[in-house]
Amino acid sequence: MSRESYKTALIVGTGSGLSASLTRLLSRQGMRVAVAARDTDKLKPLLEETGAAAFAADASDAQAVAGLFDAVQQRIGDPDVVIFNASARLRGPLADLNPAEVQRVLAVSAFGGFLVGQQAARRMLQKRRGAILFTGASASVKGYARSAPFAMGKFALRGLAQSMARELSPQGIHVAHVVIDGQIREAGREDPPAKPDSTLDPDAIAQSYLDLLRQPRSAWSWEIELRPWVETF
Amino acid sequence: MSRESYKTALIVGTGSGLSASLTRLLSRQGMRVAVAARDTDKLKPLLEETGAAAFAADASDAQAVAGLFDAVQQRIGDPDVVIFNASARLRGPLADLNPAEVQRVLAVSAFGGFLVGQQAARRMLQKRRGAILFTGASASVKGYARSAPFAMGKFALRGLAQSMARELSPQGIHVAHVVIDGQIREAGREDPPAKPDSTLDPDAIAQSYLDLLRQPRSAWSWEIELRPWVETF
Amino acid sequence: MSRESYKTALIVGTGSGLSASLTRLLSRQGMRVAVAARDTDKLKPLLEETGAAAFAADASDAQAVAGLFDAVQQRIGDPDVVIFNASARLRGPLADLNPAEVQRVLAVSAFGGFLVGQQAARRMLQKRRGAILFTGASASVKGYARSAPFAMGKFALRGLAQSMARELSPQGIHVAHVVIDGQIREAGREDPPAKPDSTLDPDAIAQSYLDLLRQPRSAWSWEIELRPWVETF
Amino acid sequence: MSRESYKTALIVGTGSGLSASLTRLLSRQGMRVAVAARDTDKLKPLLEETGAAAFAADASDAQAVAGLFDAVQQRIGDPDVVIFNASARLRGPLADLNPAEVQRVLAVSAFGGFLVGQQAARRMLQKRRGAILFTGASASVKGYARSAPFAMGKFALRGLAQSMARELSPQGIHVAHVVIDGQIREAGREDPPAKPDSTLDPDAIAQSYLDLLRQPRSAWSWEIELRPWVETF
């Protein structure tokens, strides 16, 4: 049994602490890591800590995403691993939602996932090797009231991931979707002592992503879900 | 037990014979029916046969959809029933897809569903009564290889429908999603004698839509699926 | 489009009002109806009202179920429609459950479904025609805490129904599973005025069963779900 | 982030190579491992290799399972980890199945899972700590034609696992269900060179079980699925 050992990674989208945890964990494995976000200013401490490279890009813009992959290729080489974490959320009664904002949620959460997944696949297909991970949420499998746009974006991303897994797995590319069912703990925040570990520690999530990346191809997961022990589901 | 009895209906999207079958069946129930499509020219025989009203509209354009509902309201009154059948499909290896075409699939299949659903909900919420049906496909629950955009659009539409059902059902509005798992028979086409009824008769589908519309509110379905007896699943 | 028109029905299991509602509705359609239960004494008023025939049988006993189908065949002919409503429930913390009672739940809810389904299938396969409906519950698709045995029984019954649908549909036999998500209203009980129709009217459920039975084979459902408009899901 | 570190494990059911791979892997982690099977004779080489303890027990017999846990407790202490691998399979046209054999499949695959899970839970609840893993199959989520009994048993086991996860996770016990979608490679067998890794290497599966066991409680999976890269799904 030979476990996978990838050398380079691109992480798209930041916001929650998950991308930072992933950057740290993959860097500690000896991988060269690139991080892409619309605004890279806030990433400076992370870059200094990990040596990761940062790129500014709008994941919902086809040209920008193609340019991002070119830039990453020049800096650290084509990524063996691509992780798509970007998403946008919009809540409210259906009748009150602003269509332009709904369109934006779909553009970032779903179309952005397609653009990043396509660029990743094009490069990985040449070597018939690599891994593409998509970050889902409770809303990926359950459409909550007053949260239609987020459900649309996350359901669509799951459909993309499943279709890509069916198409690309037999070509050597591991595609997986992670349903994160609960709130991710923010840096500096603590869970109440009466409910320890009631939010998802982003370092714990990152570890499960690494476990996925190391699965031998004879036993790949296309979907796993993660939730805190005390989460109602 | 009082079965629902709606008076007016708007059917959005044509192409397969399903919209035509629905127009005929609902008209025969005594309902006033409006049909919306981007191109209404081909609808003439159906309009003459059924007396339905036709409206030209692009379901993915927020202004156009708002205008459509205004026009329908003036012609037949606010629709008690709204059925969203529009969708766009795009096949091919993921790496070869044209991003602009993928965007178009999402706009028609998912964002269009939101626009139509929102306009319908706004009007129905005033009376706390009505039904909104969305037409899904096998791809609503299974992402097939080389069919990522269609899976994205159909998964998103299902997420929308589920979220709307959770939000609007307790306000008196029946929201349902129909997974059509198989090919809809085209007008004038026959199934091979060795495989009779191996495609879905659009009249049979329409009957199940009517069954849904007539469900009393104490026992509503939010999702049903339909497939030919000989379909592999 | 030819809608199905069955002549004879066997309904197995009583308790909730669903079997009574089905007996009434199918009888009113002109069908000859047989009802089977472990205890048929309480069925007298229903039999007088509808003219249905009653048979005592333990659905979890292979000999008894075979004998039931023989007796039904002699009285009303082989049933075109068989509906399995029997189930047993057991609640409590997992650690406190009595294994013998858990075994009983599985025997009635799952093994009984197999026995009835098998006898039905054997007879229907000769004519390549008929319908077999299984009654599920919320627990068919969601395993609730402190309700493991019921989840086991209902998940198993759903697995049976799905497997039978895949095997028997192409042989002309319609197999369907109905997920009833909510409480069925008991005879003589009323919903509170502030929450009308918050329980499922068994007559409304029965209507959806009849709708299923009348689906043409070009567009069969294998699963539908039913819940009250105000039910949280 | 503190990863779980369990000391003792009980693995129930052997047959495929998965139990052997788990025994080896958990032993290598320094855990004391017990293995239970109806026939322990064939386990001798594994016991000599790993130092694991073997126990003869019929998992579908309540007394025997209680006795097993007592015996394990005396030999290696109460198990921190319990893995249920036992199952029985039966194929054939529904009409031809022998009811007694169907009952046996349910007894081993589902009721046995309950008995083992209950004994495990009783002991773990005292420490509010431990992990219980159930081995599922493609048939856990899809009922295939001519395989109704296996679908019944595996659906039921999944319902049990989900119910247990909802009940026991908030009490500190990690319950997880693994859907193994494909054939497990048998010892000594090789995949054809044209389709390398087309069967699941049991060592690879075991690694994912260990990954599950090491998840911190802030991010537990209750279900993952595993399949070979080339498997159609």
In this prediction, residue D16 carries a pLDDT of: 67
Cβ contact, residue pair C62, D97, below 8 Å: no
In this prediction, residue D3 carries a pLDDT of: 76
Residue C110 DSSP symbol? I
Q: Is A181 on the interface with D (CB under 8 A)?
A: no
D3 within some domain: no
Q: Is A74 on the interface with D (CB under 8 A)?
A: no
Neighbours of D, requiring at least 3 CB pairs below 8 Å, are A, C
Q: Which of C106, C108, C116, C158 has the highest number of chain D CBs within 10 A, making it the mutation to test binding with D?
A: C106
Question: Which residue in chain D has the smallest CA separation from A173?
Answer: D229
Q: What is the pLDDT of residues C161-178, one digit of tens each?
A: 999 999 999 999 999 999
Distance CA B141, CA A160 (A): 11
Distance CA A110, CA B149 (A): 10
Q: What is the CATH number of the domain that holds A68?
A: 3.40.50.720
D197: chain A residues, CB-CB within 8 Å: 216-218
Percent of all residues in chain C with a pLDDT value above 70, rounded to a whole number: 99
In this prediction, residue B54 carries a pLDDT of: 97
Q: Is B2 on the interface with C (CB under 8 A)?
A: no
D49 within some domain: yes
Q: Is B199 on the interface with C (CB under 8 A)?
A: yes
List the structure tokens of B133: 């049906």
Q: How far is D217 from chain A (nearest CA, A)?
A: 5
In this prediction, residue B145 carries a pLDDT of: 98
Which residue do the tokens 């020219």 mark? B41
Cβ contact, residue pair A230, D185, below 8 Å: no
In this prediction, residue C188 carries a pLDDT of: 85
Secondary structure, 3-state, D119-162: HHHHHHHHHCCEEEEEEEEHHHCCCCCCCHHHHHHHHHHHHHHH
Neighbours of B, requiring at least 3 CB pairs below 8 Å, are A, C
What integer is the mean pLDDT of C111-115? 98
C174: chain B residues, CB-CB within 8 Å: 229
What integer is the mean pLDDT of D34-38? 96
Is the pLDDT at B3 greater than 80, yes or no? no
Question: Which residue in chain C has the smallest CA separation from D63?
Answer: C99
Helices (H), chain B: 18-28, 44-50, 62-76, 99-106, 112-127, 148-168, 202-213
Q: How far is D144 from chain A (nearest CA, A)?
A: 20
Question: Which residue in chain D has the smallest CA separation from C93?
Answer: D167
Which of D99, D118, D156 comes nearest C155 by C-beta?
Answer: D156
Residue A219 DSSP symbol? G
In this prediction, residue D28 carries a pLDDT of: 97
Q: How far is B49 from chain A (nearest CA, A)?
A: 35
Is the pLDDT at D187 greater than 90, yes or no? no
What integer is the mean pLDDT of A165-170? 98
List the structure tokens of B86: 């529009």
Q: Is B56 on the interface with A (CB under 8 A)?
A: no
Distance CA C19, CA B71 (A): 47
Phi-psi region of C15 (alpha: psi -120 to 50; beta: other; left: phi over 0): left
What integer is the mean pLDDT of A29-44? 94
Is the pLDDT at B15 greater than 80, yes or no? no
Q: How far is A69 from chain B (nearest CA, A)?
A: 14
Is the pLDDT at D15 greater than 80, yes or no? no
Looking at the DSSP bridge assignments, the partners of residue C135 are C178
Q: Is D219 on the interface with A (CB under 8 A)?
A: yes
In this prediction, residue D46 carries a pLDDT of: 94
What integer is the mean pLDDT of B220-224? 98
Average pLDDT of chain D, as a whole number: 96
Which residue do the tokens 């499922």 mark? C200
Q: Is A177 on the interface with D (CB under 8 A)?
A: no
What integer is the mean pLDDT of D70-99? 97
How many other CB atoms are found less than 10 A from the CB of residue A187?
Answer: 9
Percent of all residues in chain D with a pLDDT value above 70, rounded to a whole number: 99
Which of A93, A114, A149 comes nearest B148 by C-beta?
Answer: A114
Distance CA D87, CA D113 (A): 9
In this prediction, residue A4 carries a pLDDT of: 76
Cβ contact, residue pair C62, D99, below 8 Å: yes
Cβ contact, residue pair C167, D94, below 8 Å: yes
Is the pLDDT at C35 greater than 80, yes or no? yes
Distance CA D53, CA D36 (A): 9
C233 within some domain: no
Is the pLDDT at C3 greater than 80, yes or no? no
Helices (H), C52-146: 62-76, 99-106, 112-127
Which of A145, A156, A168 comes nearest B156 by C-beta?
Answer: A156
Read off the pLDDT band of A16 (50, 70, 90): low
On whether the CB atoms of residues D1 and A207 are closer than 8 A, the answer is: yes
In this prediction, residue C16 carries a pLDDT of: 67
What integer is the mean pLDDT of C142-167? 98
Is the pLDDT at C85 greater than 90, yes or no? yes
- Choose among A142, A141, A121, A123: nearest CA to A133: A121
Read off the pLDDT band of B156 (50, 70, 90): very high
Which residue do the tokens 């779909």 mark? A106
How many other CB atoms are found less than 10 A from the CB of residue D51?
Answer: 11
A152 within some domain: yes
On whether the CB atoms of residues A218 and A161 are closer than 8 A, the answer is: no
| C-alpha C223: how far from chain center | 13
A3 within some domain: no
What integer is the mean pLDDT of C171-190? 95
Which residues are within 8 A (CB) of C92 and not within 5 positions of it... i.e. 6 or more apart?
Answer: C146
Give A228: exposed, middle or buried? Use CB within 10 Å, 0-12, 13-18, 19+. Answer: buried
In this prediction, residue A14 carries a pLDDT of: 82
Average pLDDT of chain C, as a whole number: 96
Complex-level ipTM: 0.97
Q: What is the pLDDT of residues B173-217, one digit of tens each?
A: 999 999 999 999 998 899 999 999 999 999 999 999 999 999 999
Q: How far is D94 from chain A (nearest CA, A)?
A: 31
Q: How far is B119 from chain A (nearest CA, A)?
A: 7
Which of A170, A200, A203 comes nearest D229 by C-beta?
Answer: A170
List the structure tokens of D175: 């319950």
Q: Is C118 on the interface with D (CB under 8 A)?
A: yes
D 123-162 → C contacts, CB under 8 A:
125, 139, 142-149, 151-162
Average pLDDT of chain A, as a whole number: 96
Question: Which residue in chain C has the smallest CA separation from B232?
Answer: C166
Chains A, B: CB contacts under 8 A, how many? Answer: 144
- Poorest-pLDDT segment among C156-165, D106-115, D184-193: D184-193
Q: Is A4 on the interface with D (CB under 8 A)?
A: no
Q: Is A99 on the interface with D (CB under 8 A)?
A: no
A153: chain B residues, CB-CB within 8 Å: 156
- How many structural domains comprise chain C? 1
3-state SS class at C119: helix
Secondary structure, 3-state, chain D: CCCCCCCEEEEECCCCCHHHHHHHHHHHCCCEEEEEECCCHHHHHHHHHHCCEEEECCCCCHHHHHHHHHHHHHHHCCCCEEEECCCCCCCCCHHHCCHHHHHHHHHHHHHHHHHHHHHHHHHHHHHCCEEEEEEEEHHHCCCCCCCHHHHHHHHHHHHHHHHHHHHHHHHCEEEEEEEECCCECCCCCCCCCCCCCCCECHHHHHHHHHHHHCCCHHHECCEEEEECCCCCC
C2 within some domain: no
A226: chain D residues, CB-CB within 8 Å: 215, 219-221
Neighbours of A, requiring at least 3 CB pairs below 8 Å, are B, D
Percent of all residues in chain D with a pLDDT value above 90, rounded to a whole number: 94
A231 within some domain: no
Which residues are within 8 A (CB) of C9 and not within 5 positions of it... i.e. 6 or more apart?
Answer: C22, C26, C31, C32, C33, C34, C79, C80, C81, C82, C83
Cβ contact, residue pair D185, A223, below 8 Å: no
In this prediction, residue A3 carries a pLDDT of: 76
Neighbours of C, requiring at least 3 CB pairs below 8 Å, are B, D
Distance CA C103, CA A118 (A): 51
- What is the extent of the structural domain holding A18? 8-226
List the structure tokens of B58: 């692009």
C1 within some domain: no
Read off the pLDDT band of C99 (50, 70, 90): very high
Distance CA A29, CA A36 (A): 20
List the structure tokens of D88: 């029985």
In this prediction, residue C14 carries a pLDDT of: 82
Q: How far is B87 from chain A (nearest CA, A)?
A: 14
3-state SS class at B11: strand
